[in-house]
Amino acid sequence: MPAVHRVASLLKRWLLGTHQGTHRRAVQARQLDAYLDEFAFRFNRRRAGHVGPLFHRSLQHANAHQPEPYTTIRGRPGER
């Protein structure tokens, strides 16, 4: 299971490094799903040869969905 350990290690390093795990803005439980989705997106496309089609595809997805209000993305103050 070396691949599983490698992915877990990369995820841990990404969360602690990019999102400052010891800082007060660290990843919280209510945001973990969104961060895991972003990690999976980046991990699955890390060896993509052509960035152009990926960018085009993400624009298509952005166009197909309704925008989310800030409070939905961020959460309401005091909500856990």
Quick one: angle between helices 2-18 and 32-44, nearest 10?
120
- What is the structure's pLDDT at 78? 62
pLDDT at 33 over 80: yes
Q: In which region does residue 69 sit, left (phi positive, over 0), alpha (psi from -120 to 50) or beta (all else)?
A: beta
- What is the structure's pLDDT at 3? 82
Task: Mention every residue, 6+ apart, whose C-beta is less than 8 A from residue 21.
Answer: 15, 27
Task: Tell me if the pTM is above 0.85.
Answer: no
What gap in Å lies between CA 30 and CA 48, rounded to an integer?
30
Q: In which region does residue 42 sit, left (phi positive, over 0), alpha (psi from -120 to 50) or beta (all else)?
A: alpha
- Ordered by start, the domain boundaries in the chain are 2-65
